[in-house]
Structure formats: C-alpha cells, structure tokens
Amino acid sequence: MSTKTALTYADYAAIPADGLRHEIIDGEHIVNPAPNLYHQHVSRHLQHQLLMEVELKGYGVVIDSPVDLQLGPHDIVQPDLVFVSIGRKSILTPSKIKGVPDLVVEILSPSNTKHDTIVKRQLYERSGISEYWIVDPEDHTLLQLVLDNGVYREVACHDEVIMAVSPNVRVDLKLVW
C-alpha cells in the first residue's frame, strides 16, 4: 500500500526554475508550459487597464504573473493577474500572496483550458475568491464569475466588464483584443 504525501509551499519553493509554470493544487504538482505570445499580449492589455482603473486610483494592487498565490498549505498557484484591495493588503508578503485576493484572472491557452476552467475554478470557488475572470483570447470573451453564497455565478462579458468587487472599475475589452 502506498501513501501519497501532499506537497507544501516548501516543496514548491524547491522546484528548480525551468521556464515552465509549476503549481500545487490539493498537494499535487502540476506543470504547464509557458504561455504563447498572444496570451501575453492579452495579459499585458488587461493589466494596463486594471493598473489605470484600480491601482492608480488607489483601490488596491494589481500583480501579474509570475506570482505565487498560496491559498492553503497544499494549494499554490500562479494566476495571470491578481487584484488585492487596500483592505486585504496584509496578504501581500515579500515573496508571495498568502491568502484570498479579491480578483483572479486566468487567460486560457490551448494547453491549460481544462485546468483553468475546471480545476482552478473549483479551487478559487472553495477558497472564497470573490471574483474570477476566465479570458478566452481566441474567442475574444471574458467569463466573469462572481461568488454568490459560496458558488460562482456566471456573467459573460463581451465589450465591457464592470468589476464586481470594485463597481467603479470598468474594463473596455475592445482595447484588450
């Protein structure tokens, strides 16, 4: 009979840098290749809008990948973008985000669609992340998921998204694609 040891942040931090995306979910090591160039283009444009609409207006901090987000002892992920409001700044440490941010953004790549839409969605939902955006750069869509009584409610966005965790923030998706 074999027993499986759930990996921790210490195990994660010991993984050598190899250009791949390493994450630990439910104590299991998951590896994905680096994203493609269009993925990075979309990420940069979303980050720019969030920087202008959120960070420069004093609502909080926007952090782009690679960044370690530790949601629990056996859950360490690297979202594409993370928003942490002023009220939650205590979860920012010098080396990682340790705790639940206000918003997480994942941009789909051919190699990670199932991972982001199923595995990470379940993780973010059970961790209590208020808002999760799944961005599909190929279809030019953004699926906004808003936590409602512990379950994500889907809001499909095509031209503009209004941030649920900060309703004064609007992102013009026409400037992203």
| Domains of the chain and any CATH numbers | 35-175 (3.90.1570.10)
- For residue range 150-172, list pLDDT tens digits in order: 999 998 777 788 888 888 888 99
Q: Which residue has the higher pLDDT, 61 or 109?
A: 61
Judged on CB neighbours under 10 Å (0-12, 13-18, 19+), 139 is exposed
- For residue range 55-108, list pLDDT tens digits in order: 999 999 999 988 999 999 999 999 999 999 999 999 999 999 999 999 999 999
The values of phi and psi at residue 129, to 5°, are -70, 120
15-24, 48-57, 62-71: least confident range: 15-24
144, 156 Cβ separation under 8 angstroms? yes
Give the torsion through C-alpha atoms of 32, 38, 42, 44, to 10 deg.
80
Query: What pLDDT is recorded for position 58?
Result: 94
Q: Which residue has the higher pLDDT, 32 or 172?
A: 172
Query: What pLDDT is recorded for position 168?
Result: 84
Query: What pLDDT is recorded for position 2?
Result: 52
Query: What pLDDT is recorded for position 3?
Result: 59
Query: What pLDDT is recorded for position 159?
Result: 79
Judged on CB neighbours under 10 Å (0-12, 13-18, 19+), 59 is buried
Average pLDDT of the chain? 91
Q: Residue 1 above 70 pLDDT?
A: no
